[in-house]
Amino acid sequence: MKVIYPGTFDPITYGHIDLIERACRIFSYVLVGVAVNPQKKPLFSIEERVEMVREATRGFSKVEVEAFDGLLVDFARKKGIKIILRGVRAISDFEYEFQMALSNRKLAPDIETVFMMPKENYSFLSSKIIKEAASLGADLKEFVPPLVEKKLKEKLWKR
Residue 144: strand, helix, or coil: coil
Active-site choice (54, 62, 77, 89): 89
CA nearest neighbour of 121 among 25, 10, 20, 15: 15
Query: Is 16 considered catalytic here?
Result: yes
DSSP for 71-115, please give it.
Answer: -HHHHHHHTT--EEEEE--SHHHHHHHHHHHHHHHHH-TT-EEEE
Active-site choice (16, 49, 131, 151): 16
Query: Is 40 considered catalytic here?
Result: yes
Instruction: Write phi, then psi, for 68 (nearest 5 degrees).
Output: -145, 155
Cβ-contact 7, 35 below 8 angstroms:
yes
Q: Which residues are catalytic?
A: 16, 40, 89, 127
